[in-house]
Structure 1
Amino acid sequence: MSAHLLLVDDDPGIRLALQAYLEDAGFSVTVARNAIEGEELLKKHQPDLVITDIMMPQVDGYRFLQKLRALPRFRQTPVIFLTAKGQTADRIQGYRHGCDAYMAKPGDPEELVAIIHNLLERSRQIQSEIVGLLAELQQRPAPLPRQSSVELDLTPREQQILQLVCEGLMNKEIAARLERSTRNVEKYVSRLLVKTGTSSRTELVRYAIEQGLVSTSRPTN
């Protein structure tokens, strides 16, 4: 399955040219004419990576990125600023707002594709770390039975989603498995992070397995 990208730019020429190039490069691309439209599309899709302009009417790229990062399911989503503002100070401001890469217009689309592949690979590595952690913890002696789920007051749905997270599934995959919306799954994962006092999926997986909150047997297809 190809990676899904969200491209946000108020310049129709840039949108069309980049969409065509990125689709030719094998990506699935959704386009938005401005940040407000981009926010609406975020509610309907879960892009693997976002490319956004900075200088846009009403809501600029900085504010759009802040709103995106405020959503738990997009805290780790790679974001590229694609803009005509290419001065060092502009780049610094972009990184301070949390972008992962910065490319000035007009840029080389081949370079953009290379940046996208690099950032997507990094995201896959994070997922791989979770799977590797699960495999590592499965080699340890099984923890003694305990009532941790009762102590944490986990609901049956929270327990179910925690198990799937520990099997290495991402929110989108969990949503498909349970026939629920990705937004709904994201809320459950956020509650689990709060209840367990962890700050990332990797920490949540380690905590859940070490505390005996989930089964460590390998899932079967």
Structure 2
Amino acid sequence: MPLTILVVDDDLGTRLCISDYLEVSGYLAVKAENGQQALDLVAKSQPHLIITDIAMPEMDGYELVKQVRRRPDFRLLPVIFLTAHTSVQERVKGYQLGCDVYLPKPFELVELGAVVRALLDRYALIAQASPKANSLSNNSQSLITEKASKSDDSEAISQSIIKNYQISLTAREKEVLGLLLNGFSNVKIGDRLHLSPRTIEKYVSSLLRKTNTNNRAELVRFTMENYLSN
């Protein structure tokens, strides 16, 4: 049974992009759009790891982690902050509240995947050494089994993702697609490529048409599944 990762972000595109990447990599992704919704899902979904933004409505990431850490069963649950809040003071606050890793936005999906694997591997070892002493005791066997059997899918994808797969793309389309896969919004892609958001939207529309997909989430999934780009 795949390991469960709770993805929390109020931006739909980011949420779907991360979730699709994780699912292609072999995990089960559970999604929430704010901290309160995520807190309600923690007990229900029993995640093995949380990836969360900080600035969100209703309940921010800081308060989410604070509330999760108050629950004995989840005191050692791995937490990744994925956020644009990257000042020293903000990072210190995050670590003091109990986050394990602090990744800045914009982010690389390959790096996020590597961090996820590293944290799950570490907590699998903790669970194996002392299954009653930590929050992962109920899922320790699945963590240990997953650690032993997990292939490095995301690294294979990252290496293959620059190869064209049946569909002909222009150089600019390949650039836009690569940034889409790394979670960039149209505005961020435009900033990176020195193009207007409207122009980026035209490239995205072209990519959707060529891949016969309906939205960014489907485009990301199609790309990951077919190792498409460049």
Distance 1:31 1:22 in 2: 11
Distance 2:125 2:22 in 1: 22
**TM-fit CA distance, 1:173:** 7.7
Which residue matches 1:15? Answer: 15
**TM-fit CA distance, 1:128:** 1.9
Distance 2:55 2:34 in 1: 10
Q: Residues 18 and 81 of structure 1: is their aligned pair in 2 closer, same or farther, counting only changes over 3 Å?
A: same
Q: Does 1:116 align with 2:83?
A: no
Q: Does 1:104 align with 2:67?
A: no
Q: Find the residue that maps to 2:116 and give its secondary structure.
A: helix
**TM-fit CA distance, 1:45:** 1.2
Distance 1:53 1:99 in 2: 11
Which residue matches 2:200? Answer: none
Q: Find the residue that maps to 1:6 and give its secondary structure.
A: strand
Q: Residues 118 and 173 of structure 1: is their aligned pair in 2 closer, same or farther, counting only changes over 3 Å?
A: closer
Distance 1:127 1:115 in 2: 18
Using CA pairs below 8 Å that are at least 6 residues apart, which structure has the higher relative contact order? 2
Distance 2:140 2:20 in 1: 28
Give 1:70's aligned amino acid: R
Distance 1:85 1:173 in 2: 32
Which residue matches 2:45? Answer: 45
**TM-fit CA distance, 1:57:** 1.2
Which residue matches 2:31? Answer: 31
- Checking the alignment, whether the CA contact within 8 Å between 2:128 and 2:140 is kept in structure 1 is no
* Paired residue total: 139
What is the root-mean-square deviation of aligned Cα atoms in Å? 2.0
- Checking the alignment, whether the CA contact within 8 Å between 2:53 and 2:83 is kept in structure 1 is yes
From the CA coordinates, give the structure whose radius of gyration is larger: 1
TM-score (norm 2): 0.57
Q: Which runs of 5+ in 2 are unaligned?
A: 142-230
**TM-fit CA distance, 1:43:** 2.5
Post-superposition CA distance 1:59-106 (Å, at most 9, x none): 111111010001111101100001111222221111111100011111
Distance 2:139 2:33 in 1: 25
Report the identity percentage.
42
